[in-house]
Structure 1
Amino acid sequence: MTTPDFSKLDKDNIVDFIADIFARRGAEEYLGEEVSISEHMYQSGHLAEEAGAPEEIIVAALLHDIGHFTNEFPDNAAELGIDSHHDRAGAAVVAKFFPNIVTDCIRHHVSAKRYLCAVDPDYFSTLSDASVLSLKLQGGPLTAEAAEKFAQNKDIEAIVQVRKWDDEAKVPGKKTESFAYFAPMIQRVVDRP
């Protein structure tokens, strides 16, 4: 696995580049879940579309885990006690091409899990075993002070909703649309001023 060369990307080729990543690496294991990483991401986008979310939020849900493709961490990083920081890596990759709300949802979807664990006593029980493991590596629930600060993010509602779709998008065998279906929408979001 080699680190992609992001310096050659622009608004005209970013969607094709992401499509190629999904095609080459989408079948990889998703951190111990019973779905592949592409199945998980397609399910997230599908849930957002099904809920009637705006295109920017559908794209954010679809691409929230794009950071898993931007590094050299092994597939079993969580089992090895390594936090790959895929949230920050993914946000750094898309920031040049996508609106801030897309980038914010990607950058903060891990913190949103930590936030929800801090403010919603029932939320933790909804997490998969793999998500509980990654929560430990990611620092556990936010402190009350950190949760209060996180709640002040201007995109908090979208970030938290993307997180919730992330948690739900782990259903083995669930049928969703493929990348080709989402590609025109992704390009429209990229092309918006």
Structure 2
Amino acid sequence: MFKHDPLKIVKEIRLLFTEKGNSMYAGEPVTQTEHALQAAFSAEQAGEAPELIVAALLHDIGHLLHKHDEDCAEQGIDDLHESIGAQWLLQYFPPDVTEPIRLHVAAKRYRCALDPQYHSQLSPASVLSLQLQGGPFEEEELKIFEDNPWHAAALRLRSWDEAAKIPNYKTPELEHFLTYVDRVLEQQAL
């Protein structure tokens, strides 16, 4: 059981998006907030559980938490946003939220190892980050990923992540998705 005030956590997440969400999403034609909203909207449209909708919304929160420049990948720096974000969220959320987030980069490496078509459709920014993140998985890494109980959720999250790069795409506002955050946090408090 988590002993945190859900209203305070929602406020903190809202503040992160307010302060840093208008920065561009690492070489893509959308902001961090637009990217997060598009991913969450895709999860919602797919009828996913609130935990996975929250994971989709917050999968790149590590970009809002780290101290690197927006173009750190172009500087040859892997910002480790998946680990930073998952670690920060772990103090508030269950593994159904944090594990798909922690694994969403691994999911890209997994898919690139198995599907040349997927790899060929990555944006230039995603190809660059893939190189910094270790490239496609090797055989042993594939098995480790497949053995993780959250690998299927991470793969779904990865699909929404890749698709969430459409300029001017209309989604519900952040407040709509923060209701899911609040719902998951309230469940944790029970």
TM superposition score normalised by structure 2 = 0.94
* Aligned counterpart in structure 2 of residue 32 of structure 1, from 12, 16, 27: 27
Do 1:88 and 1:107's aligned partners in 2 also have CA atoms closer than 8 Å? yes
Q: How far apart in 1 are the matches of 2:13 and 2:29? A: 23
Aligned to 1:124: 119
- Alignment pair present for 1:179 and 2:174: yes
AA matched with 1:64: H
Q: How far apart in 2 are the matches of 1:125 and 1:89? A: 28
Distance 1:92 1:10, change over 3 A: farther
Deviations 1:96-142 (A, max 9, x none): 11110110011111111001111223210121111001000111001
Deviation at 1:91, TM superposition (A): 0.3
AA matched with 1:76: D
Which range is displaced more, 11-20 or 32-41? 11-20
- Alignment pair present for 1:43 and 2:38: yes
Higher helix fraction (1 or 2) = 2
Do 2:78 and 2:132's aligned partners in 1 also have CA atoms closer than 8 Å? yes
Do 1:10 and 1:97's aligned partners in 2 also have CA atoms closer than 8 Å? no
Q: How far apart in 2 are the matches of 1:147 and 1:119? A: 9
Aligned to 2:67: 72
Runs of 4 or more off by more than 6 Å in structure 1? none
Aligned to 2:130: 135
AA matched with 1:188: R
Q: How far apart in 1 are the matches of 2:74 and 2:114? A: 27
Do 1:44 and 1:169's aligned partners in 2 also have CA atoms closer than 8 Å? yes
Structure 2 residues without counterparts, runs of 5 or longer: none
Deviation at 1:11, TM superposition (A): 3.4
Q: How far apart in 2 are the matches of 1:147 and 1:120? A: 12
Root-mean-square deviation (Å): 1.1
Aligned to 2:85: 90
Distance 1:10 1:84, change over 3 A: farther
AA matched with 1:15: V
Aligned to 1:63: 58
Identity %: 45
Deviation at 1:21, TM superposition (A): 1.0
Structure 1 residues without counterparts, runs of 5 or longer: 1-8
Q: How far apart in 1 are the matches of 2:186 and 2:174? A: 18
Larger RCO (CA within 8 A; separation ≥ 6): 2
Do 2:21 and 2:64's aligned partners in 1 also have CA atoms closer than 8 Å? no
- Alignment pair present for 1:52 and 2:47: yes
Q: How far apart in 1 are the matches of 2:9 and 2:20? A: 16
Aligned to 2:12: 17
Aligned to 1:156: 151
